[in-house]
Amino acid sequence: MPVHKTSNIYLDNSAGKPVDSRVVDSMLPYLKTSFGNPSSLHKYGQEAKQALDNSREKIADLIGAEKAETIIFTSGATESNNLAIKGTATRNRKKGNKILTSAVEHISVINSCKSLIRQGFQTTFSPVDSFGFLDLEKFEENIDDQTKLVSIVYANGEIGTIQPIKKISEIVHKKDAYLHVDATAACGQIQIDVQKEGIDMMTISSNDFYGPRGVGALYIKESIRIDPLIHGGGQERGLRSGTENVPSIVGFGKAAEIARVELKSEGKRLIKIRDDIIHGLMGSIPYTFLNGHPIRRLPDNVSLRFSFIEGESILLSLAMFGVFASSGSACTAKTLQPSHVLLAMGLKHEEAHGSLMITLGRQNTQKDADYIKEIMPAIIERLRSMSPLTPKELKR
């Protein structure tokens, strides 16, 4: 039996990261004493406006944006994706009515594109290979003179695969289209430079690098024009009306500042733990397979599938040992259908159902990895012993 754990191990960081204590400290003054509306002209309002401007600067610095004004604050990644896709499509309707995305996008991108079909737009979902990489040859074939918007995920949060964004950008711009990138899972984990990589618009989420929930941003290149989704008092350059959530935006900026400084060292630390878990489990448990690319993947992502059993049963078993992980994206957890990402990579339904997704965070250590490697073989063996799909030679 494994060593008894006295505390829980949280390994579902892609669904929601703990807010860094330094971020909380930065927010407190704006929850207690600095309460002005940033649209007000008096002292308190100008203090709040300055706080917003400072956060814009920090987020722009994190992603290599040309200026702070290119950062538009939203309620989170889902709103940013909706604003980028719907706002660009409607603004450029007369130039072309086709939208191109991939088959492994976040559900907020997929459903935004699908919603535009009812308005007369055409959406094409470009295929990926067995690692989750975009098939660039077919991708280029799918862009024609009516395609004005392309939306591609920077790195898939479920399988960890990092797309070749610069190459994708070159193809998109050669075809005279705009490129929107959903960098929710990637931003704050790996180095991103929107100017060097040719990104026109990019979605960012605060909580995905230890900031508060309920706030995000959309980077919009200075020359790009889009239509707003929310109309009102004209805040955020008229693209996202409504009084800004100053405390959370301040926390967002602090989280970006910390991520920029610690990104390389933390990434190196997580990669070591990530690879130790992957190699340890694949080496000790037969019929265990890695989802996504083994090298070009996010530092925090361990996505494995175990043949002959269900991912939900693995999660319940892990919870009994105080370990909390996931079987896929939290945004699609309410459906019992297998992951659309894994199916797009060519997996069968029964293969996709046996997935376990571990996403690491700042609070995780090598001791957590050692504990996972210790308890998992017995968990998988027990579940397989009860499964009618398990071959007889694997049952004891």
Residues 143 and 278 grouped into a single domain: no
In whole numbers, what is the pLDDT of the chain averaged over residues?
94
Do 60 and 132 share a structural domain? yes
> Of the residues 234, 259, 284, which one is the last residue of a structural domain?
259
Single residue among 259, 283, 309 that ends a domain in this structure: 259
Beta-carbon count within 10 A of 106 CB: 24
Q: How many residues does the chain have?
A: 396
The CATH number for 69's domain is 3.40.640.10
Residues 80 and 171 in one domain: yes
Active site residue 113: no
Residues 184 and 333 in one domain: no
Pair 370, 345 in one domain: yes
Give the ranges where the chain is alpha helix by DSSP (H).
21-32, 43-63, 77-91, 107-117, 136-141, 165-174, 246-284, 311-320, 340-344, 349-352, 366-386
Range of the domain at 101: 21-259
* Gap between the Cα atoms of 207 and 259, Å rounded: 12
Choosing from 31, 68, 315, 331, the catalytic residue is 331
Residue 41 maps to a domain: yes
- In a domain, residue 51? The reply is yes
% of the chain surpassing 70 pLDDT = 96
The answer to whether position 305 is within a domain reads yes
pLDDT higher than threshold 50 for residue 1: no
Render pLDDT for 185-202 as a digit per residue (tens, 0 to 9): 999 999 999 999 999 999
Q: Are residues 244 and 272 in the same domain?
A: no
User: Is 282 in the same domain as 245?
Assistant: no
User: What band does 392 get if pLDDT is binned at 50, 70 and 90?
Assistant: confident
Residue 334 burial (CB count, 10 A): 6
pLDDT at 179: 98
Q: Is residue 232 part of a domain?
A: yes
Measuring CA to CA, which residue among 217, 201, 229, 191 is closest to residue 76? Answer: 217
Sorting pLDDT into bands at 50, 70 and 90, what band is 333?
Answer: low
Number of domains in the chain: 2
Shared domain for 286 and 233, answered yes or no, is: no
d(CA 367, CA 365): 5
Pick the closest to residue 316 from 276, 356, 274 (CA basis): 356
- What's the whole-number mean pLDDT along residues 97-120? 95
The answer as to whether 1 is a domain residue is: no
Give the CATH number for residue 271.
Answer: 3.90.1150.10
Place of tokens 């504990």: 371
| Residue 332 pLDDT greater than 90, yes or no | no
Position 2 in a domain: no
Average pLDDT over residues 267-289: 98
pLDDT at 264: 97
Please report whether residue 157 resides in a domain. Answer: yes
Token readout for 241 is 């009306």
pLDDT digit string (tens) for 6-42? Answer: 579 999 999 999 999 999 999 999 999 989 999 999 9
Same domain? For 224 and 286 the reply is no
162 and 39 within one domain:
yes
Question: Same domain for 129 and 39?
Answer: yes
Instruction: Indicate the residue type of 396.
Output: R
Least confident window among 87-91, 248-252, 327-331, 355-359 = 327-331
Give the count of alpha carbons within 13 A of 322, CB side only. 10
Last residue of a domain, one of 237, 259, 281: 259
- Within a domain: residue 3? no
Asked if residue 128 and residue 148 are part of one domain, the reply reads yes
